[in-house]
Structure 1
Amino acid sequence: MFETIIQPRVSETDGVGHINNTTIPVWLEAGRNELFKIFNPEDDFENWRMVIVKSCVEYKAQIYFGKDALIKCWIKRIGNASLELYEEIWQGNTKCITASTIYVNFNTQEQKSEPIPPSIKSVLENHLYEEVGQ
């Protein structure tokens, strides 16, 4: 699992007093930075490999300014050229967000997906999600 702490900003708070729903995908992406480094350790955009093909976010509770949020990111499934993530955002003891995101290992120069190398798959397996009492 990858964990990232987010400090909510005033500018992310909407008129009803909670963090705006348009902010959540940006926070989820911030929680994937260590995952991106597995595919591209130098964060080189000319060799970027990760392309989103599907994302689904479920809003379970409101998130508020003034209290840190914790992003948790697991690998749910590893395919030949793709991987599915399972993600959560917690504030305090409340699970506020669950999300599922599918990425493809994509060669931007050739504009096509490519198999995930075995060396990367073995690292990804260290972060597999194990559903326990959910």
Structure 2
Amino acid sequence: GVAIVAVLGMATLWGMNSARVEEGQPRAAQQAVPVPQPAVVPGTPGPQAVPAPPPPTAQLADPAPSPVFASEPQAVTGPATNPYNTPTVVFDASSLPPEISGVEGVAGTGNSASDFASRIG
């Protein structure tokens, strides 16, 4: 049993180790070196770009279903007037048939082994 667990553990660790990235492979893509921007001379205005007007968009119907409003909350005065007013289920045993008594025997002393031995004779 121990050998099977050891073999399974070794196989698991070997599988986890083989899933690692090789040392020769780069772990992440190399970032490009930023290109320096030409210096802006203050006081010389550049060409003004005229912003293009946004394209017209069609008004789409609301795809979401309309909300379903709940009914107005009803006033429940029972718990507000008496918070301890809870219905109680009571079992009425008066309508049950009388209990059938078992065979009268020696009362048990609390030792189950000797009680069992005294019953079988």
Which bracket does the TM-score occupy, shorter chain normalised?
Answer: under 0.3
Q: Computing the radius of gyration over CA atoms, which structure comes out larger, 1 or 2?
A: 2
Higher helix share: 2
- State the TM-score, normalizing by the size of structure 1: 0.14
- State the TM-score, normalizing by the size of structure 2: 0.15
Q: Relative CO higher for 1 or 2, CA cutoff 8 Å, sep ≥ 6?
A: 1
Higher strand share: 1
